[in-house]
Amino acid sequence: MIQIDPIQFLMQAGGLFVWVCIVAVVYAVVEKALGGPAAQDVPTNM
């Protein structure tokens, strides 16, 4: 039987969204400080 606590789920979902945003902001700041996005190899087309 599937039992979901909607309040807990919504709190967790909101928390996860905030977490992802924090990580993204930290990464973006570090990236800017280091001088732009990492230059990776061009994808190899098949």
Distances (CA, A) of 12 to 2, 5, 8, 36, 42: 18, 11, 6, 32, 37
Q: Write out the binding residues for other proteins, residues 1-46 only, by CB under 8 A.
A: 2, 4-5, 8-9, 11-13, 15-17, 19-21, 23-24, 27-28, 31, 37-38, 40-41, 43-46
Residue 37 near residue 31 (C-beta atoms within 8 A): yes
Q: Which residues bind other proteins (CB under 8 A)?
A: 2, 4-5, 8-9, 11-13, 15-17, 19-21, 23-24, 27-28, 31, 37-38, 40-41, 43-46
